[in-house]
């Protein structure tokens, strides 16, 4: 088994445990699907084993690297950060957009945020079209969980108003958070399809 497959299997197990431990928590997935095993030319017989007792939800929570309440806090921060990331106005100075994100971000992310805030071509396009965007997070799902980080997929609906009217789009962002004291800091944000890089 490759290290990536092993990591994916471990993450699926932890996420399943998180879903069971958190019960009604809407920020955690209710079920987790393990990656499909590659098909082989010769099928192996299925292993037979006697059923094992299912651990109680409390003991499942002890398998997680963070308590369920702390995972909910991470997902909540990912949602707030993503909404601020995808909301902007042509009238808003880049420093104001950056100031909204910095308190939630790890120090290591700040140079990338500063670069994104001052992209001249993007700012000129927004000003020319008098564009304003408002983002609303519609779903949060924990997709990766380790002892040092949690990655949350945030689904966002963005409404952009401009001289030419109003448009609506949806996007998914992967937000990776790392522990910061008793809370969290956003360590990275990227399109969800890019994976955890």
CATH no. for residue 140?
A: 3.10.450.230
Phi, psi for 145 (deg, rounded to 5): -145, 120
Instruction: Work out how many domains the chain is built from and give that number.
Output: 1
Domain-embedded: residue 51 = no
Residue 19 and residue 28 in contact, taking contact as beta carbons nearer than 8 Å: yes
Domain-embedded: residue 141 = yes
Confidence at 84, pLDDT banded by 50, 70, 90 = very high
- Measured CA to CA, the distance from residue 108 to residue 97 in angstroms comes to 18
Q: Would you say the pTM of this structure is higher than 0.75? A: no
Q: What percent of the chain has pLDDT over 70?
A: 68
Domain-embedded: residue 71 = yes
Average pLDDT over residues 60-66: 79
Domain-embedded: residue 49 = no
Domain-embedded: residue 57 = no
- The count of residues in the chain is 197
Confidence at 64, pLDDT banded by 50, 70, 90 = confident
Confidence at 104, pLDDT banded by 50, 70, 90 = very high
**Hey, what are 160's tokens?**
């952009």
Domain-embedded: residue 118 = yes
Range of 112's domain? 65-194
């Amino acid at each position: 088994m490759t290290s990536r497959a092993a990591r994916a299997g471990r993450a699926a197990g932890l996420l399943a445990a998180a879903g069971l431990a958190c019960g009604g928590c809407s920020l955690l997935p209710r079920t987790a699907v393990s990656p499909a095993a590659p098909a082989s030319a010769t099928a192996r017989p299925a292993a037979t084993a006697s059923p094992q007792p299912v651990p109680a939800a409390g003991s499942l929570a002890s398998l997680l690297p963070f308590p369920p309440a702390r995972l909910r806090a991470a997902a909540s921060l990912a949602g707030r950060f993503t909404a601020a990331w995808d909301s902007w106005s042509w009238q808003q100075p880049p420093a104001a957009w950056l100031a909204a994100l910095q308190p939630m971000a790890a120090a290591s992310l700040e140079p990338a945020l500063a670069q994104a805030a001052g992209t001249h071509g993007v700012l000129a396009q927004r000003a020319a079209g008098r564009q304003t965007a408002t983002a609303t997070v519609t779903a949060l799902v924990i997709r990766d969980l380790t002892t040092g980080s949690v990655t949350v997929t945030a689904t966002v609906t963005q409404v952009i108003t401009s001289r030419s009217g109003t448009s609506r789009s949806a996007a998914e962002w992967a937000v990776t958070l790392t522990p910061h004291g008793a809370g969290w800091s956003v360590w990275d944000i990227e399109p969800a399809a890019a994976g955890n890089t």
